[in-house]
Amino acid sequence: MPAEKACPCGESGLVSSARDAENCVYIHLKTDWPKFHWDEEKTSAPLAAVRHRQGRLIGRMEALGFRLREEAVLDTLTQDVLKSSEIEGEILDRDQVRSSIARRLGMDIGALTPAERDVEGMVEMMLDATQHYDRPLNEDRLFGWHAALFPAGRSGTHRIRVGTWRDDGSGPTHVVSGPVGKERVHYEAPEAARVGREMAAFLAWYNGPSGIDAVLKAALAHLWFVTIHPFDDGNGRIARAIADMALARSEGSPSRFYSMSAQIRAERSDYYAILERTQKGTLDATGWIGWFLGCLDRAIDGAEATLGRVLKKARFWEEHASESLNDRQRKVLNRLLDGFEGKLTSSKWAALAKCSQDTAYRDILDLVGRRILTKDPFGGRSTSYSLTDPDS
Binding residues for ATP: 233-240, 271-272
Contact 317, 390 (CB under 8 A): no
Q: Which helix (H) or strand (E) holds 301?
A: helix 286-319
The residues with which 316 forms a beta bridge, in sequence order, are none
How far is C-alpha 262 from the chain's CA centre? 6
Residue 158 annotated as catalytic? no
Q: What burial class does residue 117 get, using C-beta atoms within 10 Å of its C-beta: 0-12 exposed, 13-18 middle, 19+ buried?
A: exposed
CB 285 within 8 A of CB 223: yes
For the stretch 300-303, contacts whose Cβ atoms lie closer than 8 Å and that sit 24 or more positions apart, written own/partner, are: 300/50, 300/53, 300/54, 300/57, 300/258, 302/258, 302/259, 302/262, 302/263, 303/57, 303/61, 303/76, 303/257, 303/258
Residue set of the binding site: 233-240, 271-272
Dist. CA 23–CA 5, nearest whole Å: 21
Q: Out of 28, 52, 229, 320, which one is annotated catalytic?
A: 229
CA distances to 45, 105, 276, 288, 384 from 269, in Å: 25, 33, 11, 14, 33
Q: How far apart are CA 84 and CA 90, in angstroms?
A: 9
Amino acid at 283: L
**160 neighbors 153 (Cβ within 8 angstroms):** yes
- In this structure, what is the dihedral angle of CA atoms 188, 192, 193, 195, given to the nearest 10 degrees? 90
Under a CB-based contact definition with an 8 Å cutoff, are residues 270 and 91 in contact? no
Residues with a known catalytic role: 229
